[in-house]
Amino acid sequence: MTKHSGRCLCGDVTYSFDGEPAGVDYCHCDSCRRNCSAPVTAFIEVPREKFAFTRSQPKVYESSSGIRRLFCGNCGSPVAYDGDWDTANIHLYLVALDNPEAFAPNKHVFAGEQLSWFTMNDHLPKYAGSSTNAEPMKEDQ
Ligand SMILES: [Zn+2]
Ligand SMILES: [Zn+2]
């Protein structure tokens, strides 16, 4: 099985995983935007039992109850989202992978919070909030 790895900007925090991701998506929510200082971020959701940090452990910031943002204590790079609601998977910031081309997002979540000046014409399904038990928005929204 293919082993994948990733790291923060300085390389203090590294990780690896194998197996198939549970999901790959863009998140437009306000919290992820602020966490990354970026108009959108992309996640890959990886089974926790197939995942390990392989060098320094990240620092942890609890951004809301039961939601932790993991980041490098040295360079400050966001590394992962860790939520109590998803006991099966850790959510890694996709573009911190050593090969960010290995996986491509296939949907947008929290598109209801998307910045008005930020447009993407990829025609992937958009969900107003979480995609869990939800229907995508209509194409022209
Ligand atoms: Zn770092
Ligand atoms: Zn988000």
φ, ψ for residue 26, nearest 5 deg:
-90, 140
> What is the Å distance from ligand 1's center to 69 Cα?
14
Q: CB-based burial of residue 133 (10 Å sphere; 0-12 exposed, 13-18 middle, 19+ buried)?
A: exposed
With 70 as the cut, is the pLDDT of residue 5 above it?
yes
> What is the Å distance from ligand 1's center to 100 Cα?
17
Identify any residues that bridge with 45 across adjacent strands, giving them in sequence order: 23, 91
> What is the Å distance from ligand 1's center to 92 Cα?
15
Condensed to tens digits (0 to 9), the pLDDT of residues 43-64 reads 999 999 999 999 999 999 999 9
What is the predicted pLDDT for the residue at 140?
60
Condensed to tens digits (0 to 9), the pLDDT of residues 67-87 reads 999 999 999 999 999 999 999
Look at the alpha carbons of 20, 103, 106, 92 in this order and tell me if their dihedral is positive or negative.
positive
> What is the Å distance from ligand 1's center to 56 Cα?
9
With 60 as the cut, is the pLDDT of residue 141 above it?
no
What structural domains and CATH numbers belong to the chain? 3-107 (2.170.150.70)
The answer to whether 54 and 15 have CB atoms below 8 angstroms apart is: yes
> What is the Å distance from ligand 1's center to 91 Cα?
18
- pTM metric for this prediction: 0.93
Q: CA-CA distance, 29 to 113, in Å (whole number)?
A: 6
Considering every ligand atom, which ligand is closest to the CA of 32?
Answer: 2
